[in-house]
Structure 1
């Protein structure tokens, strides 16, 4: 009877300590990621326009997707829209969400029951999850919320990820001031809007000049019943600086009797968004 063979010795791996992590890194696929903060973009758009946006005022997500894909090369791409759903808007948002999915976007929806039911944490968690599962090459964040996104996005840049903020120049000061983040104004994305938003963008004037349409009829002044002041009676206000951390302008100085404060804009909730000229980006 043959004697039992002794067990073979366990072969020790010849990998150096960092080899396994390097091999796992090479197995991860390149990814370009777009995350869209729908409540923030909608609120910002309402504030800029001074009223609830009409359908023609809202961004076209098919144009946003084409712009995003133009620089993705052969990387994997993922577009995600994060939104809140108020109990009264669940039915009206269904068509918008289905349109987004048809354009290739994944949609994360959270019930808006309490004021603190935001989507910012979910956006950051998703970015972190994709950073663990893929090699992030580019992350585009559509949000003007510097309070929640400035530090994490700068950390992504330090990790070798190209970071782009897609928002409006009036509120995304945190991205424009950071040397680590690129900024693209949403209205500079080709085809993103059907009509001009009529914003007062003095830093983006065409070489031959441009018009700013009135925000209300001139005869509305007569309906107010107040005396008409000469424009020269009021000195131009000092330019307001944008807070780079919070992504918004600081509070205005108290108004005087001869310079009444403007009424606060009516900011609407997230509504239906219809299906989506060279972007200006500030690089590090």
Structure 2
């Protein structure tokens, strides 16, 4: 297995990382690699899901042209069911362990409102890595890569499912893992996931194609699923607002 090569190295903030980091609550044992490994490599197989919450939230808003409402947000219970089903029969020889992790930024002013969301995720079987967002450029991308790297060393990473449309940070390390034999699946909105759609190494699934991921169809027109007579794509911003923004940037 070829480990993820992160663009810069930090102390791992991932579950199972160095002593002193917050411990994760999952079913995956960092030291349980001897179990059910038919290859004789000494590490258990693992199917891992990582969710880039800031990216999915932002791209969802861009795609539907509005702030997401509870009705238009992803259903994490349905997504967990789809992911676990893809891991196969848990009683089969060599069946992989499964782990799903959501990575989120927590602005100080949203701590109270996000607490209920975090607890709901945990009740659906997800581990949550939450990081304070005190500066505009604070992000969790490296924390996600660190955790993938940890799991690539502690287990045989059989399948990696990444919910993110961020090609700038993820394209290279994900393709590196795919070259090493991991099945890498990118799940995002087709409007913003060109890096995965065009890759010969990564598998792409539009998030709306995950069964039950949304309670109702999103208000979007997908270029990969146009009706034969064509379709209008309405603006996501008023023309006057866009013009004013341009003038302000120009000074």
- TM-score class, shorter-chain normalisation, is 0.7 to 0.9
The reply to whether residue 49 of structure 1 matches residue 64 of structure 2 is yes
The reply to whether residue 122 of structure 1 matches residue 143 of structure 2 is yes
Quote the offset at 1:30 in angstroms: 0.4
Equivalent in 242, 245, 250 of residue 263 of structure 1? 242
Quote the offset at 1:75 in angstroms: 1.1
Counting matched residue pairs gives 200
Q: Following superposition of structure 1 onto structure 2, how do residues 85-124 of structure 1 map, counting pairs within 5 Å?
A: 85-124=106-145
Equivalent in 206, 224, 227 of residue 185 of structure 1? 206
C-alpha contact 1:63 1:190 (8 A) present in aligned 2: yes
Quote the offset at 1:105 in angstroms: 0.2
Q: Indicate the larger mover: 58-67 or 198-207.
A: 198-207
**CA distance in 2: counterparts of 1:139 and 1:215, whole angstroms:** 35
C-alpha contact 1:198 1:213 (8 A) present in aligned 2: no
The reply to whether residue 158 of structure 1 matches residue 179 of structure 2 is yes
CA distance 1:178–1:87, shift in 2 (3 Å): same
- RMSD of the TM alignment (CA)? 2.6
Quote the offset at 1:210 in angstroms: 9.2
The reply to whether residue 26 of structure 1 matches residue 23 of structure 2 is no
CA distance 1:140–1:149, shift in 2 (3 Å): same
The reply to whether residue 201 of structure 1 matches residue 222 of structure 2 is yes
TM-score after normalising by structure 1: 0.65
**CA distance in 2: counterparts of 1:158 and 1:213, whole angstroms:** 37
Quote the offset at 1:189 in angstroms: 0.7
Equivalent in 86, 90, 93 of residue 71 of structure 1? 86
C-alpha contact 2:45 2:155 (8 A) present in aligned 1: yes
Larger radius of gyration: 1
**CA distance in 1: counterparts of 2:159 and 2:208, whole angstroms:** 20
Query: Unmatched 5+ residue regions in structure 2?
Result: 1-36, 89-94, 244-251
Quote the offset at 1:263 in angstroms: 3.2
Aligned match of 2:191: 170
C-alpha contact 2:221 2:233 (8 A) present in aligned 1: no
SS in structure 2 opposite 1:263?
Answer: helix
CA distance 1:132–1:24, shift in 2 (3 Å): farther
**CA distance in 1: counterparts of 2:119 and 2:107, whole angstroms:** 17
Greater helix proportion:
2
CA distance 1:147–1:215, shift in 2 (3 Å): closer
CA distance 1:62–1:179, shift in 2 (3 Å): same
Deviations 1:5-33 (A, max 9, x none): xxxxxxxxxxxxxxxxx999622100000
Equivalent in 58, 73, 87 of residue 73 of structure 2? 58
Aligned match of 1:219: none
**CA distance in 2: counterparts of 1:180 and 1:213, whole angstroms:** 31
Give the ranges of 4+ consecutive aligned residues of structure 1 lying more than 4 Å apart after TM superposition.
22-25, 209-216
Quote the offset at 1:202 in angstroms: 3.6
